[in-house]
Structure 1
Amino acid sequence: MTQVGEGHETAADEAGPVLTFGAPTAGEVLAERYQLEEHVNNDSAGRQVWRGIDVILRRPVAMVLRHPGGDSATEMLQAAVAASRVIHPNLAGVYDAIDEQQRAYVVREWVEGESLRDLVAAEGPLDPARAITIAHSVADALTAVHATGMIHGNVHPGSTLIADDGRVVLADARAHEADSTESDVRAVGGILYFALTGHWPHNEVGRSALPDANRDSSGNPAAPRQIRAGVPAYLDDLTMDLLDRRVAAPVSDALTSELGRLDAAAEDEEFEDVGPLRFVQGGSSSSGEQMRSAPKILVGVGALIVIAIIGLIFGIRAINKTSDTNAANSGTPTAASTGDSGGETAPPRDPDKLKLSGDMVRLVDPPPGDRKDADEAELTVDGDPNTGWSTQTFYNRPNFGNTKDGMGILINLGEPRSLSEVRVVTSAPGVTMDVRTGTEDPGNSSNGDKKLLQQFKSLSDEKPEKSGGTKWTYPGFEPNQKYQYVLVFLTELPPNEDGDGFKVSVNEIELYGY
């Protein structure tokens, strides 16, 4: 049965309780129109998902119910209203969004089938041709969403539904302020990776957690071709480039066009000879259907031209990857971005672990924080994994009781340095954190911390994800930029060990650079 509503966990809803007070029952009619038929499941945010019937139009519907309604359900309802304006065969249609204060619910299309999550769990990794078809449909849906100025924000194997008739449907838009069109596009890389390997390349925890990707010592996922045989090299490159923030992401219509070309080649049984990637950035109007109708001779000529232009670039890039496997973590630009050097260049050296001392770090605790833990900040860089800074226990919500934006550790290197990555060791998994940088420290005080959060910017445009383990690595520094102030900032905490409230300890923070 379709897992409608499944997807990644979100900060806005994940702490919301499963609906208990005034719990719905089979046969109940909501809004004098929608009759509840069967409780399907609870989605990853704790909301109930039901199969129902629109008693007026006599059609099946999916209903997602949240308790309570009111202000806490605003984001869910706003996302549903926005999604209802986009009509596309690969998007689940949204029919209604209702707030009754005690509870709120969204009514949308019922898709008879199963999610990509369940399909892979039952059948194992998919063949490359089928993976491309699914990713093409998702990218096409995103192109329609982005054309209206919207962001989907929840491209995930649980929200990618495979109907019994073969249609691929993207459901449950949940755009957060940290989401972007780029993060949507990069999530298609995650869909490809999951379909090809059965593993999810992004950190995820909780009841709905997917199997984590096989990772190297730095936390980077292994390429699909390293996990299973039969994945074409260009599909492997496409998947990994979409996941790599150092490689410029295409716009959604360019990705749709490229996946449409691959999809058409698979249908014509020319899948293995499709040739190299060829994104056309911005304003591309070609679609999968147009690619299918194009004469094959034009496709062949185009492929030869592309090979002549970028073959050398991809060759150099492949050599660089094999010559130094650590380049992926150091932030060193690829050959495609640096161009021809006119001669041999020395391979980039490994980053060094920077020496940090207690006087280089301090606690960041914005209002209304009491800064009682300030003296523990130095324990995060003392080299002892058994000591660290422990947050207080927050009882209401994992986002610091919904009283402040979060807390963190600020590192002052004394002078600008070229950096490669941050490594953080915590006492428990499930911490949501990111890395932010700025040009100055406004002051070691409550007001100074407030100004700091206004001035410091996250290094990533993507929404921070929960750590999948106790060791967290962030390699997103720009290779041609230097940094003096680095903030490791926590925005959500995991459940306390005794199950009472939310709390975590940051035991070690390490910086690597040159």
Structure 2
Amino acid sequence: MTQVGEGHETAADEAGPVLTFGAPTVGEILAERYQLEQHVNNDSAGRQVWRGIDVVLRRPVAVVLRHPGGDSAAEMLQAAVAASRVLHPNLVGVYDAIDEEQRAYVVREWVDGESLRDLIAAEGPLDPARAIAIAHSVADALTAVHATGMVHGNVHPGTTLIGDDNRVVLADARADAADSVEADVRAVGGILYFALTGHWPHTEVGRSALPDATRDSAGNPAAPRQIRAGVPAYLDDLTMDLLDRRVAAPAAEALTAELGRLDAAAEEEEFEDVGPLRFVQGGGTSSEPARSAPKIMLGVGALVIIAIIGLVFGIRAISNSSKPNASPTSTVDANTGGQPGTDDPSDAPQGDPVKIPLTEDMVRIVDPPQGDRDDTGESKYVVDGDQDTAWKLSYFKQPNFGGRKAGMGVLIHLPEPRALSDVRVYTSAPGAAIDLRVGDKDPGDTSKGDDTIVKSYARLSDGDGAVNTGDKQILDGFDPDKKYQYVLVFLTKLPRNEDTPGYQVNVNEIELYGF
């Protein structure tokens, strides 16, 4: 039985080493009130989870213990205090938060049941009606949280608990500055996707890692209807719209209303006849069925493209008729301009991206000043096609390379500029912050040259804002109308190594995709 979720863990990792408190004993009473009855498990953030008894009110409680307390436990305690202010039947009640300096603990409601993660592991994907009911409860809980101005920040199959009485409750809020209302709402799409397919469409972390979604060459998850039969089209559309960042996310209350409509239809056994979605991307619901935004935009986009093509050909026809000796239009030189990405609209990418073969002579390690450059030559291991070989970084006492330098990376130098799609980085462990940068030249394999690269290359994606939580990272941001020749995959923060004290990661493989 899981009583604490194992989703978003960066807050705990950032606070420093999280060690389980050394062997609390059965029968021990905390704060002269909470008696420990049974050690349930250790959650993925390194905290002990106990079933206990409130000896004053004689009710079961869950006790989450962390060592040490003090400043390093402040974020956990603050999240608990914030969660205690929101009372809702689909939120786990938080009763107490205590800091004893050498240890800290949160006391909350005990739920007899199991997490959605464990339920799916035991029973497999759920039928659509039950998946909707669970997502409806989670969205309703988020509506209450957001109404107070707070964010949950940890909506996950491990924090979604299913009681023995079928009550669905959301536990273990861990919001930090990187979380948002939108992320909460999109995570409901993840809950739907997981309930319907048994796979998690978002990046995952550590020991709590869930089976990853089946993905296409661009890293996009396959729709539930592509994975299993029997998923209604409108539920499939709703799930994928929530996961698609190109589609505006609704307010939690609008999503709750739509899921409530579908939930009610399932209870009345009219599930198959419920019809198209009434969900409106502006954040509310309409009285008439509405087509999903992606289909509307595709239709409008197609009409606009047809109109533009007709206009262009019309103008060319008029121009050519008035200038019978006009010379053919010349193409733009892809190597002109000296910019990180060179404009070449006449040769825009077409079709699906393909893997670009990378060889040893096309990559090198970038180690800016204050680095010892001992890793020179190890770049060959990230392009040899063998996941068992790797560029093994050194150990550091702090995640930001000991505070000695901005980071380290791999420079990819293509023989000639070309249109690119994304870079895929495979690491030995989750938690590394990686960003993608581009430039127009390699100033040289020296400390000075590496310093110039780090300072001058333009960032296409930023790994400093939040630690990436999967051991496979897909980095994009390339302009489809530009070509690139020099690409830097740059690590700015290292994860804690579980086997040896310190921060360290191996880069097993780097793949570049383009057109």
Letter in 2 for 1:188: V
CA distance in 2 between counterparts of 1:269 and 1:462 reads 44
TM-superposition CA deviations, 1:473-505 (whole Å, max 9, x none): 345657678888754435334748x76765433
Contact 2:95 2:109 in 1 (8 A): yes
Letter in 2 for 1:99: D
1:243 aligns with 2:247: no
Distance 1:264 1:27, change over 3 A: same
Distance 1:111 1:381, change over 3 A: closer
Largest Rg, 1 or 2: 2
Note the C-alpha offset of 1:151. Answer: 1.9
Contact 2:247 2:281 in 1 (8 A): no
Pairs within 5 Å for 1:224-373: 224-281=224-281, 284=284, 302-303=288-289, 306-307=290-291, 314=295, 340-342=304-306, 348-351=350-353, 363=366, 370-373=371-374
Distance 1:507 1:170, change over 3 A: closer
Contact 1:354 1:510 in 2 (8 A): yes
Q: Which residue of 2 aligns with 1:13?
A: 12
Aligned residues: 468
Contact 1:365 1:408 in 2 (8 A): no
Note the C-alpha offset of 1:63. Answer: 1.0
Contact 2:197 2:224 in 1 (8 A): yes
Note the C-alpha offset of 1:391. Answer: 0.9
Distance 1:141 1:371, change over 3 A: farther
Q: SS of 2:512's equivalent?
A: strand
TM-score of the aligned structures, taking structure 2 as reference length: 0.76
Q: Structure 1 stretch 428-437 or stretch 67-76: which is displaced more?
A: 428-437
Contact 1:91 1:169 in 2 (8 A): yes
CA distance in 2 between counterparts of 1:422 and 1:352 reads 11
Pairs within 5 Å for 1:144-159: 144-159=144-159
CA distance in 2 between counterparts of 1:434 and 1:265 reads 45
Contact 2:429 2:495 in 1 (8 A): no
Note the C-alpha offset of 1:171. Answer: 0.3
Contact 1:26 1:38 in 2 (8 A): yes
Letter in 1 for 2:112: E
Contact 2:21 2:66 in 1 (8 A): no
TM-superposition CA deviations, 1:164-186 (whole Å, max 9, x none): 22221100011233222222222
CA distance in 1 between counterparts of 2:283 and 2:218 reads 37
Q: SS of 2:305's equivalent?
A: coil
Q: SS of 1:65's equivalent?
A: strand
CA distance in 1 between counterparts of 2:143 and 2:366 reads 43
CA distance in 2 between counterparts of 1:508 and 1:122 reads 34
Distance 1:32 1:410, change over 3 A: farther
Contact 2:460 2:477 in 1 (8 A): no
Distance 1:58 1:202, change over 3 A: same
CA distance in 1 between counterparts of 2:417 and 2:253 reads 39
Contact 2:420 2:480 in 1 (8 A): yes
Q: Structure 1 stretch 33-42 or stretch 212-221: which is displaced more?
A: 212-221
Distance 1:365 1:276, change over 3 A: farther
Note the C-alpha offset of 1:202. Answer: 3.0
CA distance in 1 between counterparts of 2:488 and 2:257 reads 39
CA distance in 2 between counterparts of 1:460 and 1:18 reads 26
CA distance in 2 between counterparts of 1:48 and 1:419 reads 46
Contact 2:5 2:159 in 1 (8 A): yes
TM-superposition CA deviations, 1:403-439 (whole Å, max 9, x none): 888544466889998642112244x343534434589
CA distance in 2 between counterparts of 1:124 and 1:231 reads 15
Contact 2:224 2:231 in 1 (8 A): yes
Q: Which residue of 2 aligns with 1:39?
A: 39
1:512 aligns with 2:503: no
TM-superposition CA deviations, 1:121-147 (whole Å, max 9, x none): 222211101100111111121122223
Pairs within 5 Å for 1:58-207: 58-207=58-207
TM-superposition CA deviations, 1:304-325 (whole Å, max 9, x none): xx25xx69x62x88xxxxxxxx
Q: SS of 1:135's equivalent?
A: helix
1:393 aligns with 2:398: no
Contact 1:356 1:381 in 2 (8 A): no
CA distance in 1 between counterparts of 2:304 and 2:464 reads 29
CA distance in 2 between counterparts of 1:175 and 1:205 reads 16
Give unmatched runs, 5+ long, in structure 2.
310-347
TM-score of the aligned structures, taking structure 1 as reference length: 0.76
Distance 1:508 1:29, change over 3 A: closer
Q: Please report the RMSD computed on the Cα atoms of aligned residues, expressed in angstroms.
A: 4.2
Give unmatched runs, 5+ long, in structure 1.
287-297, 318-333
Note the C-alpha offset of 1:17. Answer: 4.7
Note the C-alpha offset of 1:397. Answer: 7.0
Distance 1:407 1:88, change over 3 A: farther
Letter in 1 for 2:7: H
Q: Which residue of 1 aligns with 2:474?
A: 473
Distance 1:413 1:38, change over 3 A: same
Note the C-alpha offset of 1:106. Answer: 0.7
Distance 1:258 1:106, change over 3 A: same
Contact 2:461 2:476 in 1 (8 A): no
CA distance in 2 between counterparts of 1:409 and 1:251 reads 41
Q: SS of 2:279's equivalent?
A: coil
Note the C-alpha offset of 1:157. Answer: 0.9
Q: Which residue of 2 aligns with 1:491?
A: 493
CA distance in 1 between counterparts of 2:415 and 2:302 reads 30
CA distance in 1 between counterparts of 2:47 and 2:303 reads 51
Letter in 1 for 2:246: R
